[in-house]
Structure formats: structure tokens, C-alpha cells
Amino acid sequence: MDRRFINLLYFILTVLALIVFLKVINWLPMAFQKETLRRYSSIDEVRSRLNISDIFIPSYFPQYLSWPPSEILAQTKPFTAVVLEFKHVEKGDTTLIITQSSSDAFVAERKIRILQIKERVRYNLKGRDAILEAGVCNNDEPCSRISWNEGRYFIHVIMRSTPHDLIKIVNTMIHKSDS
């Protein structure tokens, strides 16, 4: 009986050691690669840890959108990118996603995806040449997206709504004097 108890104890200790080892192995890349895409708790944390000063945030939000962002993702390698997600206060689903990136190929639309684009137009956004798209997402819900170049960043904003609310929001992200 003592031998079985000792074997059981060795087994438990081995499993615990393996769990600790796997946790450390999982943690190491994140500890040494702070610049790769990961979650942050606040916009200020992104600014301070990744030294990204230009984060484009709207000053206007409809009352049905939550503040602060429900999810913040950011990276500086292999290129700079910031993703801000905002939830609907009552429904709890992601309703607005703002993506800014130094790569034109990066668009974070995993939670909101336009399934059918019904209209695509060029739009003058305070002197910037933007592309405005209107269409439908899941359940024939209206969705809209606007994309433009802001200095060294490509900005993509997608929202579960008509273009009317989207335009009101993005108009407060930039100022006429910005270049």
C-alpha cells in the first residue's frame, strides 16, 4: 500500500510539473515578443508599452455603444496595428470595429463581416479620399464600412448599422488640420 501511495504521489507531482512546464513554454514567446498582436486592457497601456502615439479614436459614440472598448488588440511587428472593438450596450455583441494599420492588407473583421455589399462609393471624409460600403451582415442586418488612408496608417471602420451612424462616428476621428 505504501508503494502505491508513493507511485500516486510521483504521478501527481509529474503531472503538476508538466503543467507548470507547459505554462512557462506558452508564456515565454509573449514575454520576449511584446510587439506581436496581443490584448491590452486600455488605450493608454498600448500607447505606453508599444510607443504608439497616434491612435485614432472617435469623440462621438451613439449611446448604444459601450465605452471603453470591449477589446483592444495591438502590435508593432511585423507592422503597426491597433484594433478597437465596441459592443452594443443592450445586445452585448460587437457592433463597431476600428482598425488602424501601417499595412493596407490588415483588416480585423472577424466579428463583423459584410456578406453582401450593396453599394460602394467614393466619399470625401474631411478632404480624405475614402471608400464607403453599405451592405448586409448576418440575418440581413445592415452593415457599413469606410476605409481611408490617414498619414502612414490605413483606417478601416466597420459597423453593424447604416452608413449614417458610421459617418457621424468617423467624422469625429479626424480633424481638418490633420494631414
Report how many domains make up the chain: 2
From residue 90, alpha-carbon distances to 10, 57, 64 in Å are 51, 22, 7
The model carries a pTM of: 0.77
C-alpha–C-alpha distance, residues 139 and 125, integer Å? 29
Say yes or no: 89 and 139 in one domain. yes
Question: Do 97 and 14 share a structural domain?
Answer: no
User: C-alpha grid cell for residue 28?
Assistant: 515565454
Cβ neighbourhood burial of 160 (10 Å; 0-12, 13-18, 19+): buried
* Mean pLDDT (whole number) for 16-45: 74
Question: Is the pLDDT reported for residue 10 higher than 90?
Answer: no
Work out the mean pLDDT of the chain and round it to a whole number. Answer: 87
Query: Is the backbone peptide bond immediately before 29 cis, with ω within 30 degrees of 0?
Result: no
- The mean per-residue pLDDT over the stretch 52-72 comes to 91
CA 109 to chain CA mean position, Å: 8
- Residue 177 falls inside a structural domain: no
Give the C-alpha separation, 75 to 52, whole Å. 9
Q: What is the pLDDT of residue 35?
A: 54
Residues 19 and 46 in one domain: no
My answer on whether 82 and 47 are in the same domain is yes
Structural domain of 126: 38-170
Which residue reads 472598448 in cell numbers? 69
Residues 53 and 141 in one domain: yes
